[in-house]
Structures are given as structure tokens and as C-alpha cells.
Amino acid sequence: MTQKAILLIASALGALSVAIGAFGAHALAPMLQASGRVDTFETAVKYQMYHTLALLAVGLLLFQVQQPALQVAAWCFFLGILVFSGSLYILCATGITWLGAITPIGGTFFIVGWGALFYAILKAL
């Protein structure tokens, strides 16, 4: 993934985080309350935003540091958002509970991404 792609994806995911959060707080609120999924939805939005900011940081760090582990971190944060937050959004919208079983895969991507970021900084600075 190029530095430009990382920064563009982070920008788009940041906007999407705000839009999804607002949509959930307003349009989806009755459905989320009825299904007891408000906390699940909020967790998905929070983790999407946290890792969008991490992805943005990786993209900005690439201006100064050319370390291959940063690419690993970027991919892991992106895939983590898709799998972790995506599975929770779908779970909230559909009630398909088995999706909760794949959410930890997204969490694993997040952990590996943070580890790769740690390694890249350790080696580069």
C-alpha cells in the first residue's frame, strides 16, 4: 500500500466513522436499543476511529521512516477495521450472532498492527 493510499484510506475511514456513529446515534437508535446492541455498535465505531487514527499516524510516519513493518501495520489496521468493526456493524444490523465469532480475527489484526508499528519504530529510530 502506498503512503498516499494509506493517507487517503485513513481520511475516508475517519469520515465514515463519524457518519456511521451519527447514523447509529440517530437513525438506528431505536433498533439498536430494541436489540440491546447499542454498546456493540459504539464499540465498533470507537475501534474504527482509534485504528483510523493509527493508520493516519502510520501514513504520516512514512514521511520520515522507510521501514517495511509500517506496511504490515497499515494493512493490519485496515483489515482489522474491516473485520472487527465490519462484523460488529453487520451483527447489529442483522442480528446474525455467528458474526461475533469472527470479530476476534479483526482484534488479532489490530494487535499485530500495533506490534508491527512497535517493531518499525524500534528498528528505525
pLDDT score, position 69: 97
Q: CA-to-CA distance for 77 and 57, rounded, in angstroms?
A: 11
Give the mean model confidence (pLDDT) for residues 72-99. 96
User: How is the chain split into domains, by residue range?
Assistant: 3-124
> Above 90 in pLDDT, residue 107?
yes
Nearby residues of 94 by Cβ (< 8 Å), 6 or more positions away: none
> Above 90 in pLDDT, residue 99?
no
pLDDT score, position 119: 97
Q: Residue 49: count other Cβ atoms within 10 Å of its Cβ.
A: 19
